[in-house]
Amino acid sequence: MTEEERDNDLGNLFRNKLEENEMVAGSDLTGRFMRRLERKEFLRFNPARFNVFYLAAAAAGLAVAGLLLFSPPRNSDGTAEDQTPQTEMTVIAYDTNDTVLRQKDTVTTKVTERKTASGTVKAETAPGGVTDRPAAIIIPAEETGSEIRVNGSGQADESVALASSPIAVIEASVTYGCVPLHVRFTGPANEGLRAEWTFGDGGSSSVNNPDYIYDLPGKYEVTLTVTDNRGRMSTATTMIEAWPRPAASFEISKNDQLSDDDKVTFINLSAGAVQFLWDFGDGTFSTLSDPSYRYSQAGRYDVTLVAYSESGCQDSLTINDVFSDKGSFIRFPNAFMPNTGGPTGGYYSQRSDMDNQVFHPVVSGVAAYNLKIYSKAGLMVFESSDPEMGWDGYYKGQICNPGVYVWKVRGSFRNGQQIVMAGDVILLNY
Amino acid sequence: MTEQNIIEGCIRHNRKAQQILWKQYSGYLLGVCMRYATDRPEAEDMLQEAFLRIYFNLAEYSGTGSFKGWLRKVTVNTAITYFHKNLRHKHHTDIDDYVNAETGSRGFEEDFYTAEDLYRVLNELSPGYRMVFNLYTIEGYKHQEIAEMLGIDVNTSKSQYSRARAILRKKLEELAKLKGIYT
């Protein structure tokens, strides 16, 4: 039976047996699936399945809408500002010596801070006076317990440095790169400011200058909220992009059908990579995806594959000593039956010697080789230095007598290991 | 209900029609999933994913070509998605699996192996080999098409197919020996 026939046979076996094969999906699986389907469908709105759940959801929605309608009226300027002192301020500078707030004509800046529903804080600066406000606002000063005066001008006062609102600025050592991506963030320099970081992947920190490592690829929004000791806040955001790293992986083909014996085919199993660099360990390189390579010398080679992704991220894999013992063997049959039609020359290949007419070893990883075969009388009937050249059972053009012959082989594997083997083989009756 | 009725029912998300479709095809499609999975639980998971896809995309079935074929195609695509999702963790093959995969000389008696035997040897293959073998041998895709579907090189597809074959052959022969002893 030829190689192709056997392949077809194998394919047919699987096709015929499995292509139309039916299994039994148990009632347990059916139940699990139906529940899963129900959950999935519930989440997708579908008018055909309008049921009590949707009705309840709709009722809840109406209730919420009603509550909103009767909520407290909005401010005259139209923005929904909070009425608490920390969140609504007309503050430019403080003068701690005074206990009464004094109105100035040149109010140019209004800082409005309000909490949004999600808990983040936005700082807005809008020009314009605050004419509809009282002339003076009394704001408690946390440190002294006394009241402080708000001075309407932004630059006139001597205590500007102390009093200016905090401004959050994010500095990142890198804003993109391959995972694991290590980013050094720099926040407020002033020790008196409190920093709150969220890193966009669920992580957070309250250190002023945190170090953070992103393990998973993705785009992350980093938020820094700076709060001073009066509770005034400022936020800043920045994007960090962590790219996926490819996974370098390869195998060495030992399949004779793919390559002749000395040539090694490297099979690339890398994921997420578009470019490759192979180091064959003997100073030779390749950029092919699946290169084949013939080593000129036996020895120990460490092969390295570097895989590069589209964004330039890389990963490497080194297999040490690719021709270790596992891949090196030599095996001899113990019988053969020569072709009676005449000497065949002894050359064989997997396809040409299906009838076992040539005595030859099965080898892998062999570098040097010398086979000698002797008759019982001690006569050397065959010698070969090529593992692909076996004995056809003839000596000087004459077919040899059936019986036992002794063989001896010397040589070495590519990994440098010596081969010294001996055995016997039966030449079968023809 | 005719097939047309069932399909229309499923498009309308009619529970009854969905149940009938499941009843009719879950066995067959589980058989397909079993070829692509590492074990039964994985196959069942895959089957559920496939059916969800089928229910939500049924409107895309044009009505031309066999309905069963369409179901199978969706299922195979689900298996490919599943494979991609899990690729990272299962990318290696035991080197023993193929270094020692010597080829025997005889063919395979069909009656000798049960479907369960064949599922078992397939399940033992590494996911990449199994994928290529299934798509090439049973689904009948060309190596070029497989390479595109899986995002691999054509040569990788070819060599993985060749080695999958060698491993399967070896495993079947081992199984035959075992069976020879015990039967």
Give yes or no for B88 touching A (CB within 8 A).
yes
Give yes or no for B5 touching A (CB within 8 A).
no
**pLDDT value at position A139?**
39
Is the pLDDT reported for residue B99 higher than 50?
no
> Could B118 and A18 be called an inter-chain contact, meaning their C-beta atoms sit closer than 8 Å?
yes
* Contacts with A, B 111-130, CB within 8 Å: 113-115, 118-119, 122, 128
Q: Shortest CB distance from A251 goes to which of B47, B87, B93?
A: B93
Of B68, B88, B108, the residue at which a domain comes to its end is B88
The distance of B114 to chain A (nearest Cα, Å) reads 8
Where residue B48 falls among pLDDT bands split at 50, 70, 90?
very high
Q: Shortest CB distance from A37 goes to which of B12, B18, B133?
A: B18
B110, B153: one domain = yes
Closest CA to A255 of A364, A129, A351, A367: A364
Is the pLDDT reported for residue A377 higher than 60?
yes
B103, B178: one domain = yes
Closest CA to A307 of B53, B153, B9, B77: B153
Most confident of A129-133, A268-272, A305-309, B109-113: A305-309
The distance of A10 to chain B (nearest Cα, Å) reads 7
pLDDT in tens, B126-175: 888 999 999 999 999 999 999 999 888 888 888 889 889 888 988 888 88
Stretch A390-403: mean pLDDT, rounded? 88
Q: Shortest CB distance from A268 goes to which of B34, B118, B153?
A: B153
Residue B54 sits in which domain range?
3-88
Most confident of A8-12, A298-302, B5-9, B28-32: B28-32
**pLDDT value at position A350?**
52
B82, B108: one domain = no
B82, B102: one domain = no
Count of structural domains within chain B:
2
The distance of A18 to chain B (nearest Cα, Å) reads 6
The distance of A406 to chain B (nearest Cα, Å) reads 25
Q: Shortest CB distance from B31 goes to which of A22, A29, A267?
A: A22
Residues of B in contact with A36 (CB under 8 A): 48, 52
B74, B140: one domain = no
Stretch B49-62: mean pLDDT, rounded? 89
Structure-token pair, residue A317: 């894999």
> Could A18 and B95 be called an inter-chain contact, meaning their C-beta atoms sit closer than 8 Å?
no
Can you list the domains of chain A with their CATH numbers?
88-157 (no CATH), 171-243 (2.60.40.10), 250-322 (2.60.40.10), 327-427 (2.60.40)
Stretch A40-52: mean pLDDT, rounded? 65
In this predicted complex, what is the ipTM?
0.84
Q: What is the CA radius of gyration of chain A?
A: 41
Q: Which residues of A144-168 are buried (b: 16+ CB within 10 A; e: fewer)?
A: eeeebbbbbeeeebeeeeebebbeb
B110, B171: one domain = yes
B40, B105: one domain = no
**pLDDT value at position A352?**
57
> Could B91 and A33 be called an inter-chain contact, meaning their C-beta atoms sit closer than 8 Å?
no
User: Residue A25: closest CA among chain B residues belongs to which residue?
Assistant: B27
Closest CA to B71 of B115, B120, B31, B13: B31
DSSP state, A418? E
Sign of CA dihedral A399, A405, A411, A413: positive
**pLDDT value at position A135?**
37
8 Å CB contact between B37 and B126:
no
Residues of B in contact with A44 (CB under 8 A): 56
Q: Shortest CB distance from A49 goes to which of B13, B93, B107?
A: B13
> Could B153 and A12 be called an inter-chain contact, meaning their C-beta atoms sit closer than 8 Å?
no
Residue type, A27: S
B101, B137: one domain = yes
What SS3 state is found at A65? helix
B106, B129: one domain = yes
Structure-token pair, residue A129: 């006076």
Closest CA to A100 of A131, A129, A137: A137
The owner of tokens 């006394």 is A146
CATH value at residue B46: 1.10.1740.10
Distance (Å, whole) CA A56 – CA A39? 16
What SS3 state is found at A177? strand
User: Residue B156: closest CA among chain A residues belongs to which residue?
Assistant: A267
B79, B100: one domain = no
Stretch B53-62: mean pLDDT, rounded? 87
